[in-house]
Amino acid sequence: MRMSKLFFQTLREAPADADVRSHQLMVRAGLVRQVGAGIFEYMPLGLRVKKKIERIMREEMDAIDGQEIVMPVVQPASLWKRTGRWYELGDDLARLTDRAGRELVLAMTHEEVITELAGGVISSYRQLPVMLYQIQTKFRDEPRPRGGLIRVREFTMKDGYSFHPDITSLDEYYPLVYQAYFNIFGRAGLEVIAVESDTGMMGGTMAHEFMALTAVGEDTLLLCDECGYKANRQVATFVKKDDSERSEESPLPLEEVSTPGVDTIAALAEFLEIPESRTAKALFLVATVEEEGEEKEQFVFVVVRGDMELNETKLTNALNARQLRPAQPEEIRAIGAEPGYGSPVGIRGDAVLLVVDDLIPDSPNLVAGANREGWHLRNVNCGRDYHPDLIADVVAAADGHACPICQAPLRSVRGVEVGNIFKLGTKYSEAMDATFLDEEGGSAPMVMGCYGIGSGRLIASAIETSYDENGIVWPITIAPYQLYLVSLATRRTPEVTEAAERVYSQLQEAGVEVLYDDRDERAGVKFNDADLLGIPLRLTIGARGVKNGVAELKLRNSDEVRELPLDELVEQIQSVVEAETAAVLARVVTEPLQ
């Protein structure tokens, strides 16, 4: 491709609203342009990267017997009502009505449609297992788009769905997808880790997220360097340790203590000169739960130790709730509690569900609120002074907490989720009546797995983990072009133009992907654009080089400049391309399922 014909525009400065480096560089390099909040259009160079990534996805899905299909973005609401997600999902699900008054959705995912499709085609166990996948546009009405392509509203996803006669078959297939995902990310030059994750709105019995480690990631991951334990903070567990002397303390009498203006755990610990672990933290939430087929709101009073943080995902799962929201001050006071001074002692009302973290019963004589402003209670004991309705692990793991496997200290890092896989089980097949005849002639629901990767987020993550002060540093496997050919011809050096044209034709004929900078621009502009675009190889044809029969080759990830003979150029460039490709593929890892 000739730069003089390329539809693109580079920018010297990034847009003011571009808050992460990948967003800044993609806009500056002319890969994408923003149309609206969380909505982007791909320019020719960006689309080439996207297509290369999607080709890798197709090859790896085909290698594990995947079959590609395409499903509609616009779907009847009736399908989503059958699974209940029409009612469960909030404003993230975009809903619309056509001219005939029919309710529709813009799909953020395709479980309903694929399950109905499988149920209509598969009738016998002889047709199972089968894997179907697509690379399709989706829409999620994300309330806070950010990070360019990291969190958007409209996006492209490779989503695959496998159907099995039983859970054993799914258990055998799941590791194949797990490894295929490492192959995809490795071939794209992106290093990832797989962590245990929450099944969330997808449901099911097991889930893994594939994370690219970067400071701009929205997810916190807990890792153990000793045994290899890895989990998203949403589901990470840890060994809750307490000193033995404290756990053997006898309950002491309740004692009121005046604490004027002390309405935080940190202030309370400082005021009473005690560690935060000797306090009880009260949290007030309202859960949306289903009862007898109808939604209702349930006031939830949660008690965790003062040195711990509530994990809302764990609490949501423990309550089997659809969502949580903070309680309003008037709702808190209606149960006899006081914001900032809340205590489980003396709360009233059958509408209150009292939940305590499982560390609380083993933590005697805590300081808790007194349910009146400016006062706290010393020596509050669970089981004596109040009785919880539910005891569960509802706190978040953090740096230094003990690994649940080997008890070594956990380490927290940030990551961007670039892919996920789920064991869905029969949640959707039962709701959609997707059944088959088993070997005994009986009817059974198909067992399902689900597997997704976002194309745009993968692109952004690849940039976030590989750039420098001059621009993007692409791995050669997904770069828009493999080689950036720079002509330094002037009006007085037609021989340079002739040599550059000849090299351009030869490289194209040899199958090398070449972006030829034939523009009438200064050398500095061309070199700066080459670095900004991140093309792995830069080949420069200049007057001195032509005179000496050589061209200059520079790798984007190196400062070294090599001279290559013009008469051996094609073979040597092909050799470098092969070496760079091999270097990327050598980093593909074989990872056992955690």
What CATH code is carried by the domain that includes residue 452?
Answer: 3.30.930.10
CATH code, domain with 358: 3.90.960.10
Q: Label residue 33 exposed, middle or buried (CB < 10 Å: 0-12, 13-18, 19+).
A: middle
Q: Nearest CA to 299 among 356, 354, 233?
A: 354
pLDDT at 248: 73
* Domain membership flag for residue 405: no
334 & 481 share domain: no
Asked whether the whole model's pTM tops 0.85, one would answer: yes
* Domain membership flag for residue 9: no
Handedness of CA 463, 473, 486, 573 (dihedral sign): negative
Q: What distances in angstroms separate CA 579 from CA 48, 533, 553, 554, 558, one per listed residue?
A: 21, 21, 14, 14, 14
Q: Nearest CA to 207 among 231, 176, 238, 183?
A: 231
Start-end of H helices in 36-166 = 44-63, 77-83, 85-88, 111-121
154 & 40 share domain: yes
458 & 520 share domain: no
Separation CA 118–CA 519 (nearest Å):
53
* Domain membership flag for residue 385: yes
Q: What is the phi/psi pair of residue 154, to 5°?
A: -100, 130
* Domain membership flag for residue 327: yes
pLDDT at 246: 65
Q: What distances in angstroms separate CA 310 from CA 142, 300, 306, 386, 398, one per listed residue?
A: 24, 13, 10, 20, 11
Tokens 């794209």, residue located: 188
355 & 260 share domain: yes
Separation CA 46–CA 27 (nearest Å):
10
pLDDT at 242: 63
CB 206 within 8 A of CB 192: no
Q: Which of 361, 392, 423 is the last residue of a domain?
A: 392
Separation CA 333–CA 371 (nearest Å):
9
Q: What distances in angstroms separate CA 63 from CA 69, 206, 294, 297, 455, one per listed residue?
A: 16, 23, 45, 48, 19
Q: What is the phi/psi pair of residue 186, to 5°?
A: -65, -45
Cα-only R_g, the chain: 29
Number of helices followed by number of strands (H, E) in the chain? 16, 31
Q: Nearest CA to 81 among 60, 56, 102?
A: 102
Number of domains in the chain: 3
Q: Which of 358, 392, 426 is the last residue of a domain?
A: 392
Tokens representing residue 150 in the block: 């990291």
Separation CA 339–CA 264 (nearest Å):
10
What's the first-to-final CA gap in the chain, in angstroms?
45
Domain containing 484 equals 475-585
275 & 358 share domain: yes
* Domain membership flag for residue 232: no
149 & 198 share domain: yes
* Domain membership flag for residue 97: no
Q: Label residue 308 exposed, middle or buried (CB < 10 Å: 0-12, 13-18, 19+).
A: buried
- Per-residue confidence in pLDDT tens, the chain, 594 aa: 999 999 999 998 888 889 899 999 999 999 999 999 999 999 999 999 999 999 999 999 999 999 999 999 999 999 999 999 998 888 899 999 999 999 999 999 999 999 999 999 999 999 999 999 999 999 999 998 999 999 999 999 999 999 999 999 999 999 999 999 999 999 999 999 999 887 765 566 788 999 999 988 889 999 999 999 999 999 999 999 765 456 678 999 999 999 999 999 999 999 999 999 999 999 999 999 888 778 889 999 999 999 999 999 999 999 999 889 999 999 999 999 999 999 999 887 678 999 999 999 999 999 999 999 999 999 999 999 999 999 999 999 999 999 999 999 999 999 999 999 999 999 999 999 999 999 999 999 999 999 999 999 999 999 999 999 999 999 999 999 999 999 999 888 999 999 999 999 999 999 999 999 999 999 999 999 999 999 999 999 999 999 999 999 999 999 999 999 999 999 999 999 999 999 999 999 898 886
Separation CA 247–CA 68 (nearest Å):
58
360 & 451 share domain: no
39 & 123 share domain: yes
* Domain membership flag for residue 510: yes
Helix (H) / strand (E) element for 423: namely strand 411-425
CATH code, domain with 550: 3.40.50.800
pLDDT at 232: 92
Start-end of H helices in 409-493 = 427-431, 455-464
| Buried/exposed 238-251: b ≥16 CB within 10 Å, e otherwise | bebeeeeeeeeeee
pLDDT at 245: 54
Cβ neighbours, 10 Å, residue 532:
19
144 & 35 share domain: yes
153 & 271 share domain: no
Q: Which of 404, 437, 464 is the last residue of a domain?
A: 464
333 & 375 share domain: yes
CB 153 within 8 A of CB 40: no
* Domain membership flag for residue 161: yes
65 & 171 share domain: yes
